[in-house]
Copies of this chain bind each other. A is one copy, B any other.
């Protein structure tokens, strides 16, 4: 079963393949006559240009690679959906690649994307920029970092401001009288993990709160590490009165442990989650979270790729992140009367 080629269309229209090609790709040097005949013939035969053949000749594809950690994480799912929809608007197809937080699999996928000669790669990078990633950059394939960056690697990126949200969260908790705040930090191999931890440490210092190293646990952005961290925090001789988690999955892990232990969120223990995942809004009590905007990140990443492809100067974007106060944060137990956080000063 051979597919319809441009030669078939040309024959049907009674013109040469060259003319058929010109008509179908909108080249101006075509007569009204051939335009109608070719268009008609293409429609009749159901002609679909072979993307491989076209790419081979023109040396550019209508495909981009989207290399994320895991689409089962709602944060990345949001990025993926919006990137893909935005790409489709420009007729660009999206190759989905889940690296699963594994540098080996990231390299495997980068190789595959290079073989596919994708027009650009959007990646939430893993590791230190060694391996295939360095090679991709020297090859000149347009790359845009999304969510994360890598130190010393100069690539346009779309990230969230990882500091402001954490700073606001600590200020909010300090205002509620909390002195011992636990942090379930992200892996220090990622820029987001590092920046959020650093912002936390700085905010703790600024507010003069306990900076007990036992209050900080390094997780891996997965549910189980959040649960493990929560257990360790709660088992401390002096447990924290508030907990902050550095991504949505670890937040889920924390909440799971609190439920198992019968600890009431918001009153017994204040919790600040990360990412304004829809599921958090259905949680009871509704979660106070650090919110950012994965949907815009996905769309913007595609924009940046297209700008680089068009030869426009590369730019990076840092999106706002902010604290959304809901019901999971309350006054520190035993802290006495504290002014309402939303009250004056």
Contact = CB atoms under 8 A, between A and B. Distances in A.
Contacts of A91: 112
A274 interface: no
Contacts of A201: none
Contacts of A281: 256
Contact of A115 (B49, B108, B283): B49
Interface residues of A, number: 57
Interface string A226-245: 00000000000000000000
Nearest to A82: B72
18 contacts: A50-B56, A51-B52, A52-B117, A63-B116, A71-B80, A72-B81, A77-B77, A84-B96, A84-B97, A88-B108, A88-B112, A93-B97, A93-B116, A94-B96, A256-B281, A256-B282, A282-B283, A283-B284
| A-B residue pairs, 7 tightest by C-beta | A96-B96, A279-B279, A1-B140, A52-B52, A52-B55, A52-B56, A51-B115
A115 B84 CA distance: 17
A255 B279 CA distance: 11
B98 A81 contact: yes
Interface string A110-122: 0111111100000
Say what secondary structure dominates the interface of chain A.
Answer: helix
Contact of A52 (B61, B112, B139): B61
Contacts of A14: none
B84 A48 contact: no
B279 A259 contact: no
Interface string A1-40: 1010000000000000000000000000000000000000
Contacts of A63: 95, 116
Given A56-B52, A77-B77, A81-B72, A46 B95 contact: no
Contact of A278 (B94, B113, B252): B252
Interface in A115-142: 115-117, 135, 139-140
Contacts of A116: 51-52, 63, 93
A185 interface: no
Interface of A: 1, 3, 46, 48-53, 55-56, 61, 63, 66, 70-72, 74, 77-78, 80-81, 84-85, 88, 91, 93-98, 100, 105, 108-109, 111-117, 135, 139-140, 223, 252, 255-256, 259, 278-279, 281-284
A177 B283 CA distance: 28
Contacts of A3: 117, 139
Contact of A95 (B48, B93, B223): B93
Given A52-B117, A88-B109, 6 more contacts: A48-B115, A50-B117, A71-B77, A77-B77, A93-B116, A252-B279
A48 B114 contact: yes
A97 to B, nearest CB: 7
A84 B98 contact: yes
B282 A252 contact: yes
A51 B117 contact: yes
